[in-house]
Amino acid sequence: MTSLYQELETPTFRLAVAQFEEAAERLGLDGNIRGRLTLPQRALIVSVPVRMDDKSVKVFMGYRVQHDTALGPSKGGVRFHPDVNLGEVAALAMWMTWKCALAGLPYGGAKGGVRVAPEKLSRAELQRLTRRYTAEILPLIGPEKDIPAPDVGTNAQVMAWMMDTYSQEMGYAVPGVVTGKPLAIGGSLGREDATGRGVTDVALEALRHLGLNMAGATVAVQGFGNVGMHTARIMHEAGAKVLAVSNTKGGVHSARGLDIPTLRSRYQSNVRPLHECGVGEFISNDDLLQLECTILVPAALSEQITEKNAAKVRCRILAEGANGPTTMAADRILEEKGIFVIPDILANSGGVIVSYFEWVQDVQKYFWKEQDIRDRLHEIITAAFHRTLEFSQAKKVSLRMAALMSGIDKIGQAHLARGLYP
């Protein structure tokens, strides 16, 4: 076993590889290509020294992993979180490859991260950390090479600092080097809530498929960040009753349905406990996952639904807003229970789909109306949903396996066509 492999050996990476291996086996994927796709194409580990406000220097670990670039520049977010490690970033990069391929985007997959608790830094420290991290990964990124975006713990402001750092180094403005930027510097309308909108679009298709509708649906959302908050809002606007939402410190619940607009207006960020906003009663994250509801949306971190709690999950539809929220053992339990699982690489692909629109607009220097973005997102994600559903019925596999197999097959074909260099 190589030392790189040891660094990668984490539960999240094992989950991504186990999913890949099952899908590759079912596809009968060429063994040589299988070996290439199990490991990342490139992985860069950097140290990120930051001058803190008290003048001391702290060093943080940073990563950028490009899993595959057969179809185009690699694409994927940057995560700022205290648990970030190489294995997690590599797993998330692999999922980005399948996600982009499944949606039909001309991208490979990548992910980056810094092992840091961003809420503990001042704004100035966060800016210095972002800029130094960007400078360290500079040789890897670029609008035709690898295009970062927001993920857990990062946002449009962080993307603006990344774009500025890259542009300063180049000597001219390069908006297409990142997506999820502010509108003022070439960001796209509709990017901010794109993941939540996509989750809602596919959940609606799943409801229709099961003969249900959004008006009668009840919803529970784990996570109240960029994905969870907008998912709760958009589902609420679509007529669903949102029973519960949560963040890392627990959540709020109301059997009558939460007043989401009021909750949003009172909730500042992850620092304020949701149950201090005066909307609904306290609920723990464990209890939220076990609520009886039509749609459960895990929209926080990976490995939340495991063999320990899967039997107690009581939703009709599981729409995975997060990446990797369900372990393989849990998957089997959910399947036995007849829960309709919309897998992460399909359910949360709205974010990267609108990132693609943003990049196209930046490269063409021609910007679209918000309605055009919503319509095109809807078109791409619902088509991907129906293709995946048909594939799963034809091959008699779960929706997760169907999504993985479709994405992996596209990448496999690209590798076969391109051949092995030299």
Residues carrying an active site annotation: 111
- If binding is defined by CB under 6 A, does position 348 make contact with ligand GLU? yes
Which residue's structure tokens are 């396996």?
401
- If binding is defined by CB under 6 A, does position 193 make contact with ligand GLU? no
CB-nearest residue to ligand GLU: 77
Minimum distance from residue 348 beta carbon to ligand GLU (Å): 6
- If binding is defined by CB under 6 A, does position 352 make contact with ligand GLU? yes
Q: Which of residues 110-169 bind ligand GLU (CB under 6 A)?
A: 149, 151
Q: Which residue from 318, 322, 281 is spatially nearest to 303, judged by alpha carbons?
A: 322
Site string for ligand GLU, 237-276 (x = CB under 6 A): ----------------------------------------
Minimum distance from residue 138 beta carbon to ligand GLU (Å): 18
Q: Which of 108, 351, 407, 412 binds ligand GLU (CB under 6 A)?
A: 351
Minimum distance from residue 130 beta carbon to ligand GLU (Å): 16
- If binding is defined by CB under 6 A, does position 331 make contact with ligand GLU? no
Q: Which stretch binds ligand GLU (CB under 6 A): 42-50, 72-80, 164-172, 252-260?
A: 72-80
Amino acid at site 289: L
Minimum distance from residue 408 beta carbon to ligand GLU (Å): 17
- If binding is defined by CB under 6 A, does position 97 make contact with ligand GLU? no
Q: Which stretch binds ligand GLU (CB under 6 A): 59-67, 285-293, 346-354, 377-385?
A: 346-354
Q: Which of 97, 246, 304, 355 binds ligand GLU (CB under 6 A)?
A: 355
Are 141 and 147 in contact by the 8 Å Cβ rule? The answer is yes
Minimum distance from residue 405 beta carbon to ligand GLU (Å): 19
- If binding is defined by CB under 6 A, does position 410 make contact with ligand GLU? no
Minimum distance from residue 295 beta carbon to ligand GLU (Å): 20
- If binding is defined by CB under 6 A, does position 75 make contact with ligand GLU? yes
Closer CB to ligand GLU, residue 218 or residue 362? 362
Q: Which of 40, 62, 73, 76 binds ligand GLU (CB under 6 A)?
A: 76
Tell me which residues touch ligand GLU (CB under 6 A).
75-77, 149, 151, 179, 323, 348, 351-352, 355
